[in-house]
């Protein structure tokens, strides 16, 4: 059987940095060529970054994407890399009107290009356009209706893009009809918990359906609230995993494949079994197999365990948000509680402890151990510690309100949080730090946060992490330190203490919220699974708690809309995934 050495380059790119992304691609192709690769695969929209959102609606951006692709082809040849065949994602313009969706020629497409010998030898666009969860691709793109089949070294290779793999029928069906020996799928598939298991199962299923080996390359890195986990994989038609890359790190995965020789010349329209027709378009780069060579041993990287995977996703998303938005340092309030402790450790792991500034801001209700616990954590991780008591500032505000009767209850409590927010934003302005907020998903769901107080900031690392998971991750991170022979970053006293906002005497979270293990179970069903009241009761949740939690969640929508972005780790986060009206009279009763 003919042989082929394929390189899957899972890289971290930046949306809009076409020049920088192209340079990164050339670098990766150079490394792959040096390792003897014949075919190099880059992720979906690697040239433009993904998701580019409304940038793709600007004609200037689409024009720049196309021009950069052409330059990339020439630059690869000029760098002596023209003999390597490269598949890369970019944004293209639809060459013809698309009557079935009523959009004219020139509309943007999520496209794949095949480059060889200084030229773009084939182009095609994603057929299936996802319009669920975090995806809005019907808003941006028009679908493609061709499947390029490239004959390279005597092997027929079908090229598909991301969602074409996730939907039944479509290009995978056409790949089988075209009798390809290899299906390549370029992806920008965002991370969510346990998705690696689902992804592997899907790739196995589609390889069997295509009757061909399938090579799946994915992006890595953070883009706003999305995180891409890599996990590139190559699977044989019988479902066996031939090679698999790691998670969350840039990597060049090399695999030697024995593939069937090309025999079919079928071209033209094929029923895709999804109520559409896709045309097979064939291009020959080289019809003759290469000389036989000794294959290298492929690498199959072990998967991270559940908590390690989640933690890596959060660190990756935090690091890339800071780096790609050109911040060098961060600042956050360190209260002595578990949430801010975990965020501080995440930040240190993301950008280095020297770049993490933590501020203790005790008020009259702060316990002594909260301050000492916070200072101890800062010492353990090596963060830059400052102590700025806010008692006198709060008193000055209270005197200002004395003439109108003063502040009471929640208004008085929230004043303390807002003073802290003002201090952190002032430090941000003065030193150029990015302010990290420390609220978790349970608090955000129930509105248990202060607007313009603890919600003030630029990025929210644990926005999609429930309180129960905060404890799990904190214990996991300490265990990781122990296995490395390091000091546990989070003092046990912080993990063990009952959670409290410390905005009133003796205050505990459970004075106002159900126990977090109970609350989080209801939130998972109501927020993530979209279960209504009757379904929640049928699932066994307490009726009074269901009514209470639904009310809290529904009333806090306006707060969530003003919260900063944070890494998505769950099947449904507050942000792209869950879009409810702020002004909303509907209540699930």
Catalytic center residues: 44, 126, 162
Angle at 468 between CA 368 and CA 374, to 5 degrees: 25
Give the rounded distance of the alpha carbon of 210 from its chain centre.
Answer: 28
470: closest CA among 548, 569, 572, 362?
A: 569
530: which residues sit within 8 A by CB, 6+ positions away? 572
Sequence-ordered list of residues with C-beta below 8 angstroms from that of 213, at least 6 positions apart, any chain: 181, 182, 183, 207, 234, 235, 236, 237, 242, 257, 259
């002594």: which residue's tokens? Answer: 368
Tokens of 561: 């809309």
**Distance (Å, whole) CA 548 – CA 541:** 12
Contact 574, 463 (CB under 8 A): yes
Question: How many whole angstroms separate alpha carbon 103 and alpha carbon 94?
Answer: 10
Q: Where are the alpha helices (DSSP H) in 115-253?
A: 137-140, 163-166, 171-177, 195-210
Q: What residues pair up with 379 in beta bridges, in sequence order?
A: none
How many whole angstroms separate alpha carbon 68 and alpha carbon 26? Answer: 12
Residues 6 or more apart in contact with residue 135 via CB below 8 angstroms: 51, 163
Structural tokens at position 547: 């009514």
CB–CB of 46/71 below 8 Å? no
Is residue 109 within 8 Å of 142, Cβ to Cβ? yes
Q: What is the DSSP letter of 469?
A: H
Determine if residue 239 is left, alpha or beta; phi over 0 gives left, psi from -120 to 50 gives alpha, anything else beta.
left
3-state secondary structure 289-357: CCCCCCCCCCCECCCCCHHHHHHHHHHHHHHHHHHHCCCCCEEEECCCCHHHHHHHHHHHHHHCHHHEE
Number of H helices, E strands in the chain: 18, 20
Question: CA-to-CA distance for 179 and 254, rounded, in angstroms?
Answer: 24
């Amino acid at each position: 059987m003919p042989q082929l050495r394929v390189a899957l380059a899972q890289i971290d790119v930046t949306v809009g940095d076409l020049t920088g992304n192209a340079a990164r691609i050339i670098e990766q192709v150079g490394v792959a060529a040096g390792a003897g690769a014949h075919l190099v695969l880059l992720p979906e929209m690697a040239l433009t970054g993904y998701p580019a959102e409304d940038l793709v609606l600007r004609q200037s951006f689409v024009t720049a994407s196309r021009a950069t692709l052409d330059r990339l082809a020439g630059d690869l040849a000029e760098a002596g890399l023209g003999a390597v065949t490269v598949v890369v994602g970019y944004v293209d313009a639809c060459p013809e009107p698309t009557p079935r969706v009523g959009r004219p020629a020139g509309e943007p497409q999520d496209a794949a290009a095949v480059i060889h010998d200084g030229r773009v030898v084939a182009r095609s666009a994603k057929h299936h356009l996802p319009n669920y969860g975090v995806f809005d691709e019907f808003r941006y793109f028009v679908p493609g209706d061709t499947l390029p089949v490239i004959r390279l070294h005597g092997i027929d290779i079908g090229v598909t893009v991301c969602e074409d793999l996730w939907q039944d029928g479509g290009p995978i069906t056409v790949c089988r009809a075209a009798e390809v020996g290899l299906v390549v799928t370029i992806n920008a598939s965002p991370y969510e918990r346990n998705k690696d298991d689902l992804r592997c199962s899907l790739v196995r299923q589609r390889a069997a359906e295509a009757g061909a080996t399938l090579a799946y390359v994915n992006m890595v890195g953070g883009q706003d609230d999305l995180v891409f986990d890599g996990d590139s994989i190559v699977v044989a038609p019988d479902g066996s995993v031939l090679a698999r890359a790691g998670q969350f790190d840039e990597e060049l995965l090399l695999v030697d494949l024995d593939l069937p020789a090309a025999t079919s010349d079928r071209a033209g329209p094929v029923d895709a079994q999804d109520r559409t027709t896709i045309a097979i378009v064939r291009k020959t780069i080289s019809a003759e197999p290469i000389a036989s060579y000794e294959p290298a041993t492929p690498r199959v990287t072990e998967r991270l365990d559940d908590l390690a995977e989640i933690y890596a996703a959060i660190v990756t998303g935090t690091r890339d948000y800071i780096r790609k938005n050109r911040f060098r340092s961060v600042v956050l309030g360190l209260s002595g509680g578990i949430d801010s402790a975990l965020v501080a450790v995440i930040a240190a792991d993301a950008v280095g402890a020297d770049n993490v500034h933590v501020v203790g801001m005790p008020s009259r209700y702060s316990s002594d151990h909260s301050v000492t616990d916070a200072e101890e954590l800062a010492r353990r991780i090596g963060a830059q510690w400052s102590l700025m008591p806010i008692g006198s500032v709060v008193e000055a505000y209270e005197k200002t309100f004395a003439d109108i009767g003063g502040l009471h209850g929640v208004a008085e409590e929230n004043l303390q949080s807002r003073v802290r927010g003002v201090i952190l934003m002032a430090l941000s302005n003065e030193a150029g730090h990015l302010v990290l907020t420390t609220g978790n998903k349970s608090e955000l769901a129930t509105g248990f946060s202060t607007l313009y107080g603890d919600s003030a900031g630029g990025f929210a690392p644990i926005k999609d992490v429930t309180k129960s998971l905060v404890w799990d991750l904190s214990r996991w991170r300490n265990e990781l330190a122990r296995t490395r022979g390091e000091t546990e970053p989070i003092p046990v006293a912080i993990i063990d203490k009952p959670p409290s906002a410390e905005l009133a005497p003796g205050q505990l979270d459970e004075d106002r919220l159900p126990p977090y293990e109970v609350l989080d179970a209801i939130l998972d069903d109501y927020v993530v699974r979209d279960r209504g009241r009757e379904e929640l009761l049928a699932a066994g949740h307490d009726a009074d708690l269901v009514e209470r939690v639904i009310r809290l969640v529904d009333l806090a929508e306006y707060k969530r809309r003003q919260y900063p972005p944070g890494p998505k780790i769950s099947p449904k986060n507050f942000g792209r995934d869950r879009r409810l009206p702020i002004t909303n009279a509907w209540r699930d009763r």
